[in-house]
Structure 1
């Protein structure tokens, strides 16, 4: 089932900073991925379900150019990606082997994949930028993936940037990086994020008019009562 539009819209309106705070309050401490940065065509926030790819360390008998034609290849994985998904690739933080280049990114863009998020690198940087595919990665490197990695499958649980990601979890990525929301928590996180954004916007207005921080942020009972009264008045 595709992600509910109302939930997607609510998450799209929330920053990743807000989402990490909401998740922290719900007991999820690791949600922000180390490594992926807004690199190519990543000026807008993206929201979508995770389609996972998994690499392991390079092994000489398997990580060969011939493996690109294998049924278990990044090419086959791309063909399995549904429209609207966000491809999340566990590249183990390897930075000297680009997992995708311009042709593969162009195909993902043509299939309406929303974005690529990886703790690894891409190659063919100028061409990748030209595809228009939004990419969060750790950088760019000329060598191909098989120079340092072996691709082993897709739609499996992975670890990307120190975070556990399961197929169908929801990814939100913006200028501050990429965050994963566990699938079972998506609706409650979206509702809480809307309220958190509303509260923080009100707090910012209070700061701008000179209110000191103690008791304001985080709000004590008196501050929260003022906030609720203001919100009720509209």
Structure 2
């Protein structure tokens, strides 16, 4: 699996990634790669712009990077209203009341650690389908990150938690009466591109990208070479400018990680 990277993240907000790349674990092949490296590699094999999610879908906080196989949710706008609730207890438990009446599809338990939850919001109106609690719950269940072409709410908390979430919009409202999950682990559209379960999905400060699983090994190989060439060139500039080396030019560490792959 691969994980969210952020040196300022509070203790416990991220899980350690693999020590070495594993050819049998596609996500691990993307651990050190930037979205730009992968975009260049996809261009190189003729996938020009086909898998670039809308640039409106952005990480909620700086320094975020994650990769992993997609686990997908397809949502549609609800076509029935939430009814008026009578007590504070009912209002607090509104989600449970709504789901109890109409049901709520969820991703299956036991997904491989390191997946990325990708959500097709169905183009509905403002609704905080994702928030501070359920995004963190996704990470607890083994996700590396969450991407949605819709809304996330509680964003101050999400940022403070350093929960890795990429969104198109920030929202305020809750699920009942506004949005429903109709399918899980199916082909979806997110940010204008197709995403299937198992496709490799990644995000960093440049945005979000999808790598079709059929070309994921090839793309990872090309992208790694692009990254290492860039690191070598930048390290020379660091030396010329008298800058101290940092992890973004640590070629030895990256080569060690990918040794034997």
Q: Which residue of 2 aligns with 1:5?
A: 22
Aligned partners of 1:87 and 1:117 also within 8 Å: yes
- Aligned mates of 1:187, 1:84 — CA distance in 2: 17
Q: Distance in 2 between matches of 1:165 and 1:54?
A: 11
Partner of 2:52: 32
The match for 2:99 is 68
Q: How many equivalent pairs are there?
A: 207
SS in 2 for 1:104: helix
* Residue 185 (structure 1) aligned with residue 210 (structure 2): no
Distance 1:25 1:108, change over 3 A: same
Distance 1:198 1:26 in 2: 19
Q: What is the aligned-residue RMSD (CA, Å)?
A: 3.3
Distance 1:20 1:60, change over 3 A: same
Whether contact under 8 Å (2:72, 2:117) holds in the other structure is yes
TM-score by length of 2: 0.67
Structure 2 residue aligned with 1:232: none
Segment drifting more, 4-13 vs 104-113: 4-13
Alignment of 1:1-234 (within 5 A): 5=22, 7-28=26-47, 29-34=49-54, 35-40=56-61, 43-60=63-80, 65=95, 66-69=97-100, 73=104, 76-77=106-107, 79=109, 81-94=111-124, 96-201=126-231
Question: Which structure has greater helix proportion?
Answer: 1
Q: Deviations over 1:90-146 (max 9, x none)?
A: 113546111122221232122221111111111222333354421011232111134
Determine if contact 2:79/2:177 at 8 Å carries over to the other structure: no
Unaligned runs of 5+ in 2: 3-20, 84-93, 239-261
TM-score, with length taken from structure 1: 0.74
